[in-house]
Amino acid sequence: MSLTETCAPAQAGAQSPEGGACDSGPPPARGNSEVRTDWTRDEIAALFDLPFTDLLFRAATVHRAHHAPDEVQLCTLLSIKTGGCPEDCGYCSQSASADSGVEATKLMDVRAVLQAAAQAKDAGSQRFCMGAAWRNPKDRDMPAIVEIVQGVRAMGMETCMTLGMLTPTQAAQLKDAGLDYYNHNIDTAPENYENVITTRSFEERIDTLANVREAGINVCSGGIVGMGETRAHRVGFVHALATLPRHPESVPVNALVPVKGTPLGDMLADTPMAKIDDIEFVRTVAVARITMPRSMVRLSAGRESMSEATQALCFMAGANSIFTGDKLLTAANAGDDKDAAMMAKLGLSPMRGEEPMRACEAAE
């Protein structure tokens, strides 16, 4: 049974804001529809500090001004090149420097990738996201990558890739192939970056995001919560995204999946920080929604160990996209049966229409 089959019918478009009702608490709400890229850290910290019910109400109000609150976008992930990565991201099972037991593979055969995409489409997924454990793609990899993008697009699905750093030329090649989205996470606050990754800089991440934007590809960028970072780091993380020259079209919020054999998985194991507090996770989602009103906010890694109640709070707080299926890249995901049951219970439907940011871009 597919997720599409089990869910309630899609609702009509986003509701318009009622206005006025959410003006309490710092910073003052300047109208639900306003999209700003001049957020200050103090304003974002003040949002995090709001009483939880006020924060949720405010996030839900912003959400309803821009999105249909009972629709969730379904995306499927596939690892097209797993493990053996030269980068040392402290959370990642695929780093060659981790002792996680993940076996390194070569880039998958184009036909096998297209077969997996066809299955995802049958299961109701609108977008096929493909990840490669690379610091950056080599130019010799590009012809196969281009063929994959063209093939998945020909099936009528949206395409997303995450391949590491891109040069302007590679970004242009992907755009020409028809790539819809590029995922490249900033992961954490700039000042926390070197505590998590030492083989590249935060600025290099921003450079690739600029190359992707410049090429005309939609941007997907977010990060991970629960890596032992402080509240101030979470403020800095949201601030870095919300003050980009243009907000990312998609903002994945991952909860750390602590993997044995990775520096962060091992460091946090058996400590009170092994799992992010559920309420703090929901707060992060809510603040992302308020500061980036038109973006899709994607509940990404970590849903497998999250209760339905916590996920429901995340949907209230403005999350409106999930990864479906049993597997993320290497880690377990909730799975289609569980998700279909949750969506039916919550009365959520798969998203059918266009994303608000893209609809606005088309109108501009």
Letter for the amino acid at 177? A
Q: Which of the ranges 38-46, 142-150, 233-241, 250-258 carries the binding residues for ligand DTB, by CB under 6 A?
A: 250-258
220 is catalytic: yes
Considering only residues 151, 252, 293, 350, which one is a binding residue for ligand DTB as defined by CB under 6 A? Answer: 252
160 is catalytic: yes
Residue pair 117/147 in contact by the 8 Å Cβ criterion: no
Q: Three-state SS for 252?
A: strand
Copy the structure tokens of residue 33: 């529809």
Residue pair 287/316 in contact by the 8 Å Cβ criterion: no
Using CA of residue 160, residue 161, residue 166, residue 171, what is the dihedral sign? negative
Looking at the Cβ atoms of 50 and 78, the one nearer to ligand DTB is 78
Residue 42: other Cβ atoms inside 10 A: 12
| φ, ψ of residue 187 in degrees (nearest 5) | 70, -45
298 is catalytic: yes
Candidates 7, 22, 75, 92; catalytic one: 92
Please report whether residue 334 would count as binding ligand DTB according to CB under 6 A. no
22 is catalytic: no
Candidates 7, 22, 75, 220; catalytic one: 220
Angle in degrees, 0-180, between the axes of helices 231-242 and 41-49, rounded to the nearest 10? 130
Residues numbered 323-362 forming contacts with ligand SAM, rule: CB under 6 A: 329
Looking at the Cβ atoms of 124 and 252, the one nearer to ligand DTB is 252
CB neighbour list of residue 209: distance below 8 Å, 6 or more residues apart? 184, 186, 219, 221, 244, 248
Candidates 129, 205, 283, 289; catalytic one: 129
Q: Which of 79, 56, 95 is nearest to 130 (CA)?
A: 79
Looking at the Cβ atoms of 66 and 303, the one nearer to ligand DTB is 303
Candidates 89, 200, 234, 289; catalytic one: 89
Candidates 7, 22, 75, 160; catalytic one: 160
**Cβ of residue 18: shortest distance to ligand DTB, in angstroms?**
33
Q: Which of the ranges 95-103, 131-139, 171-179, 284-292 carries the binding residues for ligand SAM, by CB under 6 A?
A: 131-139
CB neighbour list of residue 267: distance below 8 Å, 6 or more residues apart? 90, 228
Residue 274: other Cβ atoms inside 10 A: 14
Q: Three-state SS for 296?
A: strand
Site string for ligand SAM, 81-120 (x = CB under 6 A): ----------xx----------------------------
**Cβ of residue 330: shortest distance to ligand DTB, in angstroms?**
4
Q: CA neighbours within 13 Å on the CB side: how many for 140?
A: 1
Residue 179: other Cβ atoms inside 10 A: 27
Candidates 85, 294, 303, 314; catalytic one: 85
DSSP 8-state symbol, 119: H
Q: Which of the ranges 26-34, 40-48, 281-289, 326-334 carries the binding residues for ligand DTB, by CB under 6 A?
A: 326-334
Residues that bind ligand SAM (CB under 6 A): 91-92, 131, 133-134, 162, 164, 184-185, 187, 223-224, 254, 256-257, 259, 301, 329
Residues that bind ligand DTB (CB under 6 A): 77, 93, 129, 131, 162, 183, 185, 222, 252, 254, 257, 300-301, 328-331
